[in-house]
Structure 1
């Protein structure tokens, strides 16, 4: 009953979580924590350290303070079993699966934006250097041409992502059982018993239970993050391709855009360790990093819907601004040749473009 009341308090957001202490904890074998921050490595490590110190103090008090035995008492393993709780109760997904899913989604978004964003940039540069653009813009509006490039390449990216997702799910569901056989079955039994590492490696446990279920609203949010993030960065890459005149200049001109993307990946590690920190919340709200960081947080911890909506609205506004800005640069730069434009010249392009 006490555990049910504690679970209810977590669901009502009165507390973050609760510890289950039993005879195994007194022996120093294991302790179980269930809470909203069960995926936060920093919080779990802090809780484990507190429990270890209390168990050590109890041992020393029971046997008397003997300096020769303090070091021996301090050395004992404490296996931490965690269970995340959300608004609907205990999360049936596996923590390892959630961590893997969050990292995979964020990394996949980054890869797709970089690969296909640069493909758009090089396509624009090729049309400009071969003078094909001069023929095309004589019959097609530059705004329509830019939109067509982003839309066409974006659909290719979405198709590739969907194919990867379908093949990955099929491989985890059917291929793992065929390749590993009894090892996967043992890992599934161990995971169901609450000991994911007992049946073998954590990877086998993940293959045994598969990826955790993702709610429909989270799936929609992940899809919107990808689409809006791709449009935002693709329009910037297209503007870079229209600005320069050679492959040597394009890498230097694209550096500021790449820095915006790389900064998100650099902070993925600290954010995965503590997805509820102020830094994680801030970066998930910035339009430049939200397409990558917000999906990472959604799959790790319960994120308030107001933060998700706010992040998507911010990215949508940034998309509108980048499309307007890139469209004006694209309109002028596509037919401009010679030296690379300075910041002042870019400002004049934006100001006088029609």
Structure 2
């Protein structure tokens, strides 16, 4: 047991202090802080922006005031000035004294049209604001012609809505579904990224030791089975450490902006109505998914002799993870589809898809229990087979051929 713990903490320490861990953690933390503070960052960069100044040539000679009022409602940072000389206005744009020239035209009783002239249109927002203001101006003119009141006009453009009533007593409300969808998104990405990253880390770690012949020294003092599980739990501790850092910093940054209605995370990450059972299932399926793929990665890595062959050998595992993730993303819009239900019981897809179902639907407990049982049985089978493959695989060197090497590893493990 002491040797097992020594190897476990050796794996944990070497990964925690590695440059890749420190850099990836730092980059992800910066992304989390930047994403949760996006509105503040954008506001800081926009605080020094000067107001846009645009000259307006009103060929109708009667709608400038109405148009400028509509434009001010669309964007208060745009200042318009009525001018008569279009040529002089264009000259001021070229001399960078103003930002553009807008020509307002239209015959009596017809829709107004406009032409915007500027040095370039890299700022697409300027043109969209003028289009919006022109549209509102035309709407106001048409309303006046039809003698419609403002209340009648608003009623015409008021979006239709329907009341949703679920006949199933235990069905989740629309608000609960929206919040559950946000949590499911997060957990799906966490499972997807962690499996790809940490499972590949285990396979690479084993292949690295074999390529440096360290394995021949290790197996003389520690059994291959202890080595495999020491690496599994060691890398798992690395993942827990990294996600704790992400969680604590992300939560602190989120709470700082929780009351900002303009923040991109204020509504999406509101989990106030999430059931505690959903959170428990998130942890359970995350752990089951990790150990399922980590065990698979360990014995795949044990049959690789060169680091260059790791990605090729673990490619089938990567495709399984990607397939499960794509099915889960599809299932977010139709979680009760038969295809989603069936694949939620397939072991390599279950961690993502069954969690999707329990997060979005009221799944019978026996289905969840059956899925967890299938996952545990699969992990146990992989652990037994993987331990045998690992035991024989660490002695295999030379050109890698996955299927042949697995048979050779199983044969060597019996000797």
Which interval holds the TM-score relative to the shorter structure? 0.5 to 0.7
3-state DSSP class of the match of 1:254? helix
* Uncovered stretches (5+) of structure 2, i.e. residues with no partner: 1-156
| 2:291 paired residue number | 231
1:212 to 1:308, Cα distance in 2 relative to 1, 3 A: farther
- How much has 1:345 moved relative to structure 2? 4.4
3-state DSSP class of the match of 1:267? helix
Q: Deviations over 1:315-337 (max 9, x none)?
A: 11110111112111111111211
Q: Deviations over 1:294-322 (max 9, x none)?
A: 22222222221111111111111110111
**Counterpart selection for 2:311 from 220, 240, 251:** 251
Does 2:216 align with 1:134? yes
Structure 2 CA distance for aligned equivalents of residues 90 and 279 of structure 1 = 22
| 1:173 paired residue number | 255
Query: Which structure features the higher share of helix residues?
Result: 1
Does 2:338 align with 1:278? yes
| 2:153 paired residue number | none
Q: Deviations over 1:170-192 (max 9, x none)?
A: 33333233xx3xxx2xxxxxxxx
**Counterpart selection for 2:183 from 84, 91, 101:** 101
Cα RMSD for the two superposed structures: 2.7
Q: Deviations over 1:280-307 (max 9, x none)?
A: 1112111101111122222222221111
1:213 to 1:169, Cα distance in 2 relative to 1, 3 A: farther
Structure 1 CA distance for aligned equivalents of residues 201 and 165 of structure 2 = 43
Does 2:385 align with 1:325? yes
Q: Is the 8 A contact 1:228 1:291 kept in 2?
A: yes
| 1:205 paired residue number | 267
Q: Is the 8 A contact 1:102 1:297 kept in 2?
A: no
| 1:288 paired residue number | 348
Structure 1 CA distance for aligned equivalents of residues 349 and 384 of structure 2 = 20
Q: Is the 8 A contact 2:392 2:408 kept in 1?
A: no
**Counterpart selection for 1:301 from 357, 361, 366:** 361
Structure 2 CA distance for aligned equivalents of residues 218 and 128 of structure 1 = 42
1:167 to 1:151, Cα distance in 2 relative to 1, 3 A: same
Q: How many pairs were matched up? A: 259
1:138 to 1:92, Cα distance in 2 relative to 1, 3 A: same
Does 2:193 align with 1:111? yes
Q: Deviations over 1:22-41 (max 9, x none)?
A: xxxxxxxxxxxxxxxxxxxx
* Uncovered stretches (5+) of structure 1, i.e. residues with no partner: 1-74, 185-199
**Structure number with larger C-alpha Rg:** 2
- How much has 1:344 moved relative to structure 2? 3.9
Structure 2 CA distance for aligned equivalents of residues 85 and 110 of structure 1 = 35
Structure 2 CA distance for aligned equivalents of residues 205 and 216 of structure 1 = 19
- How much has 1:80 moved relative to structure 2? 4.9
Q: Which region of structure 1 is more displaced relative to structure 2, 77-86 or 117-126?
A: 77-86
| 1:264 paired residue number | 324
1:138 to 1:273, Cα distance in 2 relative to 1, 3 A: same
Structure 2 CA distance for aligned equivalents of residues 255 and 144 of structure 1 = 25
Structure 1 CA distance for aligned equivalents of residues 294 and 180 of structure 2 = 29
TM-score (norm 2): 0.57
| 2:374 paired residue number | 314
| 2:38 paired residue number | none
Q: Is the 8 A contact 2:211 2:307 kept in 1?
A: no
Please give the residue correspondences for 1:52-67 in structure 2 after superposition, counting only pairs within 5 Å: none
Structure 2 CA distance for aligned equivalents of residues 85 and 294 of structure 1 = 24
Structure 2 CA distance for aligned equivalents of residues 261 and 251 of structure 1 = 14
Structure 2 CA distance for aligned equivalents of residues 259 and 319 of structure 1 = 19
